[in-house]
Structure 1
Amino acid sequence: MAEALHDVARIAHAELLTPKPDESLRFFVEIMGMEVEAEEGGSVYLRGWGDYLRYSLKLTEAAQPGLGHMALRAWSPEALERRVEAIEATGLGQGWTDGDVGHGPAYRFTDPDGHALELFYEAERYVPPEHLRPSWRNQPQRYVGRGAAVKRLDHVNVLAADVRTNRTFVQEVLGYRLYERIELDDGTETGAWLSLSIAAHELIYVKDAYGASGRLHHLAFWVDTREECLRAADLFVDNGVYIEAAPSKHAVAAGFFLYGYEPGGNRIEVTTGGYFVYDPDYEPVTWTAAERARGQFWGVHTIESFHTYGTPPVEPPA
C-alpha cells in the first residue's frame, strides 16, 4: 500500500457564479447568515462565523450559474511546489496567477472533467472588526446568529462525465483519500466521496446524467446540529427559497441534509453529522445500484432532479 500524500490541506474556498448577484448576495447574508468580508470587481467575498481564513465563498456575477473555481490550500511552500510539478506532468496545468483577495500566488489547473481549480499556500488569517470580535481567542469571529448562521464551507460536489478518471486524478495527484463510492453492475463508477482529512467527505464526484462536463452539483455549508438544519428549512420556507429535498439523513456518508436553490439557480446544502475516519488503512465502502435504490438512510427516496439537475443547466439529450 502506497503511503498517502499529505501535501494538500483542504478546500479553502469556492467561487460560485450567479446571474442574479444582488438576490444571491441577500440569500447568503440574510438567510444563510454569512458576513461580507470584501468586495472587488464583480465579486463579493463571504465567510461563515467559523472560517479561520478571510472567506470561504467568492460570489461572482456571471451570465450563467455554476462553479467558477475551487481553491485548495497546500500545507507548505514546498508541498505547493511538489503538487504543481505533479499537476504539470498530467498536462492539465494552466499556470500561475498573482492570487486573489486574501491569498498569494496560485497555480491554476483543471481536473480531467474541466472543473477549474487553483492551489496556493500563502493566505491571510481573518482579523475581525470590533463588532465581530469573539469573546474567546480560539474562535475566529463572534457568533451573531443571523439566519441559518452557517459556520463554514463543508464540501463541494461536482458532476463529471467520467467519475473514475476524476477520482483517480485527485487521489494520485492531490492526495485525496477515497472513503465511499458507488459502482453499478456493469462496473461504471457513478459516485465517489473523497477527503483530505478524517471527515467522511470534502469533495464528491457524481456522474453527470447528461454526460456533460464541468458542472456543479452543490456547495454544502456546515452547521453544528440537526436542529440548525431544521431551522434553516423554516427560514427557506419563510423566505420563498425552493426546497428540493427536506431535512433527512443520507445513506452515503451519513450526513444530515437540507437542499435548496439559491436565487442564481445553484443548489445549496445545509449539512451536519456524518462520521470521521481515523484508520490509516481504511477500506472504502462500495455501494451497489440495488443498495442505493433503497433511498436515503431512513428510506426516503431521492427526488429525480437531484440526479439530473446541475449548474450551468444543460438540455437533456434527445
Structure 2
Amino acid sequence: MNALLHDVAHLAYVELLTPEPDRSLWFFTEILGMTRAGEDGDSVYLRTYDDYEHHSLKLTAHRTSGLRATGLRASSQEALDRRIAAIKDSGLGIGWRDGDAGRGPTYAFRDPDGHEMHLYWESEWYEAPEELRPALKNQPQAFPGHGVGVRRLDHVNFLAAEAAANGAFVRDVLGARVTEQIMLDSGRIAAQWLHFGNKSYDLVFTDDWSGSSGRLHHIAFATNTREDILRAADICLERGVHIETGPHKHAIQQTFFLYVYEPGGNRVELCNPLTRLILAPDWRVVTWTEAERAKGQAWGLKTIESFHTHGTPPVERD
C-alpha cells in the first residue's frame, strides 16, 4: 500500500478531438448544459457550472475523434517542481509549454502508453459575468437550468496496451493510489482505478483489446443526483443521442452511470459517484476476479460487447 502524496490536487481538464465540431458543441452545451467560456481557432472552451477554473473541456475540431491531452493541477508550486523532477527521471517528459486559457506555465509529458498529460500550478479563478452570476457566493456560476446540468469533469478512462504499467506510472511518478482493479485468472491486471485525493477515482486505465496505444475509453461528467442520470437518459432518447448502456449501477466503485456517444464518436459517461469517498489513509486495494466480473454490473446487467471494442480514435480490427 502506497501513501497518497497529494502533490497532484485533481483532474482539471481534457482536450477532446471531434470530426463533427458543430454537432459535438451542440451535445456539450444543449444536452449536457455546459457553458462556452471562449474560443481559440478550431477550439471551444467549455465549463461546468461548478468549475472554479476557466474551463474543464477544450473541444477541438480534428480529422478524427480521441483525446489530445489531459490536464492535472498540482497542489502547489513546490509540488509541481517535485513531480516534474520525477517525470524527468522517468524519461517521459516532453517539456514546458505556455499555459492554455486561464492557466500558467504547463509541463507536458506522456504516460508509458503515449497519452499526453499536462501538469501546472498557476491558475486564474473564474469570474462569472453578470448574466451567469450565482445567487450563492460559494458557487462559481449560476446553475444552467437546461440540459443535464453536469457539475464537474469527474474522471478519464484511458485505453492502454498494458493497463498495469500505466497505473504504476501514475502511482509511482505522480503520487496517486490504486483503489480498485481487475485481475484476470492469468494474473494480469486488466484495469486499474486511481485517485489523487478523497474521490474514489480520477484516472482509469483499461487494457485495449485492439492492442493499440494512446486511445480513449471515455470521459465522465458527474451529476448532482441519480435522478439527473435518469433524466439524462430521457433527454438523450428524445434528442437522438446514442445510448450505449445504462442507466445502471457499476459493481466496481458503485457508480450510477449512463454511457452515450457524443456526435464526434467519443464515449461520454454521465455518473453519480458523489456520495462515495475514500477516507481511509490505509486503504486496501479491492481486486475483482474474472468470475466476479462475469456476473455483470451491480444489479446483474451484462457488460455489452461494444464496451470492450469501442474506443477513440477508431482502429481497424481483424
Fold-level similarity (TM above 0.5): yes
2:22 maps to 22
1:74 maps to 74
Q: Do structure 1's residue 315 and structure 2's residue 281 form an aligned pair?
A: no
- TM-score, length-scaled by structure 2: 0.98
2:13 maps to 13
2:112 maps to 112
Q: Secondary structure at the match of 1:253?
A: helix
- RMSD (CA atoms): 0.9
Q: Secondary structure at the match of 2:252?
A: coil
Residue 144 of structure 1 and its aligned partner are, at CA, apart by 2.3
Q: Do structure 1's residue 298 and structure 2's residue 299 form an aligned pair?
A: yes
1:168-188: CA deviation from partner (whole Å, max 9, x where unpaired): 000000011110000001111
Question: Alpha carbons of 1:73 and 1:288: their partners in 2 closer, same or farther (altered >3 Å)?
Answer: same
Give the aligned residue type for 1:14.
V
2:247 maps to 247
Give the aligned residue type for 1:46.
L
Alpha-carbon separation, structure 2, partners of 1:162 and 1:181 = 13
Q: Do structure 1's residue 65 and structure 2's residue 65 form an aligned pair?
A: yes
Alpha-carbon separation, structure 1, partners of 2:197 and 2:309 = 29
Asked if the contact 2:70/2:116 (under 8 Å) is kept, the reply is yes
Alpha-carbon separation, structure 2, partners of 1:3 and 1:109 = 23
1:122-178: CA deviation from partner (whole Å, max 9, x where unpaired): 011110010110111111111121100111101100100001110000000001111
1:43-69: CA deviation from partner (whole Å, max 9, x where unpaired): 100001111111110100111100010
- After TM superposition, the structure 1 = structure 2 runs for residues 71-220 of structure 1, keeping only pairs within 5 Å, are 71-220=71-220
Alpha-carbon separation, structure 2, partners of 1:75 and 1:61 = 31
Q: Secondary structure at the match of 1:174?
A: coil
Alpha-carbon separation, structure 2, partners of 1:275 and 1:6 = 19
Residue 275 of structure 1 and its aligned partner are, at CA, apart by 1.6
Flag structure 1 segments of 5+ consecutive residues without an equivalent. Answer: none
How many residues get paired? 317
Residue 200 of structure 1 and its aligned partner are, at CA, apart by 1.2
Alpha-carbon separation, structure 1, partners of 2:268 and 2:198 = 23
Asked if the contact 2:3/2:177 (under 8 Å) is kept, the reply is no
Alpha-carbon separation, structure 2, partners of 1:172 and 1:33 = 37
* Identity level (%): 54
- After TM superposition, the structure 1 = structure 2 runs for residues 277-288 of structure 1, keeping only pairs within 5 Å, are 277-288=278-289
Residue 3 of structure 1 and its aligned partner are, at CA, apart by 4.2
Asked if the contact 2:183/2:287 (under 8 Å) is kept, the reply is yes
Residue 6 of structure 1 and its aligned partner are, at CA, apart by 1.7
2:259 maps to 259
Q: Secondary structure at the match of 2:272?
A: strand
Asked if the contact 2:2/2:177 (under 8 Å) is kept, the reply is no
Flag structure 2 segments of 5+ consecutive residues without an equivalent. Answer: none
2:38 maps to 38
Q: Secondary structure at the match of 1:291?
A: helix
Residue 2 of structure 1 and its aligned partner are, at CA, apart by 5.2
Alpha-carbon separation, structure 2, partners of 1:147 and 1:206 = 30
Question: Alpha carbons of 1:10 and 1:29: their partners in 2 closer, same or farther (altered >3 Å)?
Answer: same
